Chain A
Amino acid sequence: MATRGVGLGLALLALLLTSAPALVAQDSAAVELDPRLGVPDDAPLSGPALEALTQEISSLIRCPVCQGLSVADSPTTSAVAMQDEVRRLLAAGYSGDQVLVYFETSYGEFIRLEPKAQGFNLVVWIAPFAFLLIGAALVAMRVRSSRAQLADNASRSAPRSASQSQEESQDVDHDPHNEPERDPSLEAYRQRVREEVKP
């Protein structure tokens, strides 16, 4: 009984060993089927290195049936099929770049989750920094002009004594000629206020 079991096991092992090269050959033939792929740039990958790179490249490919998810993050059948294709191509020795270009030739640039930093896409990469710089420049300009205004006001009031300033600030409500800094367009309103508060 035990001998029969061992015999069956050996037969199964032999079958596996003989069929494995055939499976590999079939797979590589499928890879070569698409002439767009060309010749692999790298050496074939396997094991943890293959899994790590598959994960990395899949995370850069957009799942076509999801909203803003990568193929690595989506459990959908389409995403799983695409991840399997990434794994198969990397295992055959195609580089990560070759795999991304292959997907791009089929789906267009939309399939890349990160747009390439070239041409019109540069706007996406540069605009945030450009807007940050413009914003910082505007804030700096604003701060500088308010500082200059403060300094100017201080220099105007500096030679006068504190009591003089106090007197002026009391007078200013009564004497319209003593208000050079005020906006002349508001004069009508100011006049109305004066009339209304007049005792």
Chain B
Amino acid sequence: MNRRVLVVGAILVLPLVWVLGMGLGKDPKRIESPLVGKPAPAFELVDLAGNTVRLEDLAGKPALINFWSTWCVPCVYEHPVLVAAARRYRDRVQFIGVIYQDEPTTIRAYLARSGAWGPSLIDPTGRTAIAFGVYGVPETFILDRSGTITAKYDGALDPATVDALLAEVL
């Protein structure tokens, strides 16, 4: 009887342990984007200077698209990293910022203080953030020359991560 209980218990419990064990190696904060390996969602947004930027305008050169806002603390930490990276990859990569739930006037004031690293596109309805599947800021998408998303990064970028992400598309 005891042996039978043990066998039945093992049959019931082991699959559960296996399912839970599979998740142990994963970072619970990281959610894989289904967009990696797929063409980036089309967008047509206006930057702070009033210029229209479309996805197709980015074709031909790798791009780094960063969703950010001034109220997001990691974005503030990330900002100098992006300023430096934009300078370092000036002719090889296009750096595009998409403003997430923030006011253009606040962004203008912030950029005047901290420096800009690329055009900041206004996404008033949040539609572009939804199309890219943005959970929260900062989130960064790397696009290759053809406009395919090669990587998505959640959280504040550091210089080594920027280099590693861009190495794949250069």
Known: A65-B136, A78-B126. A33 touches B33 (CB 8 A): no
Known: A34-B42, A82-B130, A134-B12. A64 touches B135 (CB 8 A): yes
1/0 per residue, CB under 8 A from B, across A36-72: the answer is 1000000000000000000000000000110000000
Q: Determine whether the beta carbon of A108 is less than 8 Å from that of B125.
A: no
How many chain-B residues does the 8 Å CB contact rule pick out? 24
> Nearest chain-A residue to B11 (Cβ)?
A134
Partner of A84, one of B31, B42, B125, B129: B125
Q: Determine whether the beta carbon of B34 is less than 8 Å from that of A108.
A: yes
Interface membership of A105, Cβ < 8 A: yes
Bound form: Cα–Cα A125–B148 in Å: 36
Known: A65-B135, A134-B12. A85 touches B127 (CB 8 A): yes
A: interface residue count bin: 20 to 34
Q: Secondary structure at chain B's binding surface: helix, strand, loop or mixed? A: loop
Q: Determine whether the beta carbon of A30 is less than 8 Å from that of B127.
A: yes
CB distance from A71 to the nearest CB of B (A): 10
Q: Determine whether the beta carbon of B133 is less than 8 Å from that of A107.
A: yes
Bound form: Cα–Cα A130–B153 in Å: 40
List residues of chain A with CB within 8 A of the CB of B41.
Answer: 34, 36, 106
Interface residues of B in 109-140 (CB under 8 A from A): 125-127, 129-136
Interface membership of A184, Cβ < 8 A: no
CB distance from A120 to the nearest CB of B (A): 9
Interface membership of A128, Cβ < 8 A: no
Nearest 4 A/B pairs, CB to CB: A81-B126, A106-B133, A107-B133, A64-B135
Where the two chains meet, the residues of A that have a C-beta atom closer than 8 Å to any C-beta of B are 30, 33-36, 64-65, 77-78, 81-82, 84-85, 103-108, 110-111, 123, 131, 134, 138
